[in-house]
Amino acid sequence: MKSKSLVCSAVVLPLFLTGLSGWAIGGISGGGGNIIAQGRPTVLASAEHAEDLVRTGSQQLEKYLQAKVAVRANLALLDDPLNQLFNKNSQGQNIFDILANSRVDIRDSSPCLDSAGNPVDGSSVMAPNSICLSSMRIAAKVDADEIPEQAAALMMHEFSERLGFDDGFAVEVQKQVLRDFERSESK
């Protein structure tokens, strides 16, 4: 089984992905999630190319979070689930603490597993202080040009769960990240 690990640092914020249960829902309970997609891909990427695109997504996530911080005062006025991620939880951590202390394991030839051992696109329960993303599974579900955004959203889903939020909230975060990317592309 081939896998690569990335270490997130406080200077370079980590990776991103999304979640989908079935083809269009997003997320499942048990520490695993899937991408959110609408149908089958028409432009496929190999698992290795998808792995590179997931890494590109991590760079996009860094910029995305920096932009969110820049407008954080306005987020309190919006119904934006990401606003809650910036606050410290009962362990004194926020999303930036989780990102700085987490690894992202990208698997190009196997799925990630949820707490029940079911195959998923992303997981927050496979190892301490890490999340897993399966570029192999993601590549089979979305067009190649959508992988970075989908990966960023799924990563935020998994990081939200690592922060202690439930799957329902993590799916809302994932959807918000995708909406934000869609809005920025339409400008």
The number of domains in the chain is: 1
pLDDT tens readout for residues 6-38:
433 322 233 333 222 222 334 444 677 888 886
Is 60 exceeded by the pLDDT of residue 50? yes
Do the beta carbons of residue 170 and residue 36 sit within 8 Å? no
Q: Which stretch of DSSP H or E encloses residue 132?
A: strand 130-134
Q: Would you state the pLDDT for residue 79? A: 67
**Residue 18: which domain range?**
3-186
Q: Would you state the pLDDT for residue 3? A: 45
Is 80 exceeded by the pLDDT of residue 130? yes
What is residue 84's DSSP assignment?
G
Please give the biggest Cα pair distance in the chain.
46
Of 114, 106, 102, 186, the closest CA to residue 147 belongs to 106
